[in-house]
Amino acid sequence: MSTAFFYDDLYLKHDAGAFHPENPERLRAILRGLKEAELWDRLIHVPPIEATEEQILLVHTLDLFEFVRAASLRGSYQVDPDTHISRHSFDAALLAAGAAVGAVRGIMENEFSNAFAAVRPPGHHATPNHAMGFCLFNNIAIAARLLIQQYKLKRVLIVDWDVHHGNGTQDIFWDDPSVVYLSLHKKYHYPGTGWEDETGSDSAQGTKINCPIANHSHYMEAFRAGLAKAEQFQPEFILISCGFDAHENDPLGNLGLTNEMYSELTQIVFDFAAKFNHQRVFSILEGGYDYDALAKASAAHVQVMLNHS
């Protein structure tokens, strides 16, 4: 077995708007980075299949599903100052969610060891009933819910190292003790959520672990501390909301992370999974807006995944 790579050219057709930082060049940079690092031919290339309406509704309302579809049919719709829906956005969003579905299924059914998906639009800001923050459907949340409902896993861990807090993912699983959510994000940054006292409600208390970061010098220490809190839940699968916008060169985030730090973060995740006698890891692209950083950091990330395949 090896590492699966999920990608489709349709992702390039999602138009977030003129001069928008979330644009097709992001994915072209990742493809270039994987080829330049001579990783491309070592990957299992899996064409994603669109998620079904039923799969989207695992975490979203029917109203949101119909809204995104209608706005896309309209051809152009501005959801908020950051989030635009174009003619191809609905299809691209279904295919992004479908990559998440296909990846976790393939790992659970031993078709490949682990997987990375380079998709657009990203997902972790999408709440049950709202598209926001460049995101239409919450790709990683759909994958997590599928693992719980279809594969009957008891605990799933989502690790979110995008520079922005994944408010949508946290909202979706706020009352759900089966999904542990660990987020490291820039303090006082968009969307303004993800404080230490946001830990989940009722039976889910303690399963939401937020680490707002002010200085990158404490990043690895905070990451290890967050995983230490998650360890008690003994996750059976680890999903990564893989934003590269905490990179030192990123124009929107810039929390000071280096390519080597992304490699180290990935290795720490695999070491953590080994504590529970598995290597079930799936990573999906969220943010990251410097093309050179995307190329090199994604290659560093995927290299570690290949080392564990």
Residue numbers annotated as active site? 125
DSSP string, the chain: --EEEE--GGGGG----TT-SSSTHHHHHHHHHHHHTT-GGGSEEE---PPPHHHHTTTS-HHHHHHHHHHHHHSEEEEETTEEEETTHHHHHHHHHHHHHHHHHHHHTTSSSEEEE--SS--TT--SS--BTTBSS-HHHHHHHHHHHTS--S-EEEEE-SSS--HHHHHHTTT-TTEEEEEEEETT-TT----TT---SGGGTT-EEEEEES-GGGHHHHHHHHHHHHGGG--S-EEEEE--TTBTT-SS----B-HHHHHHHHHHHHHHHHTTT---EEEEE-----HHHHHHHHHHHHHHHHHT-
233/113 Cα distance (integer angstroms): 23
Largest CA distance in the chain: 49
Residue 188 neighbours by CB distance under 10 Å: 8
**Cis bond leading into 177, ω under 30°?**
no
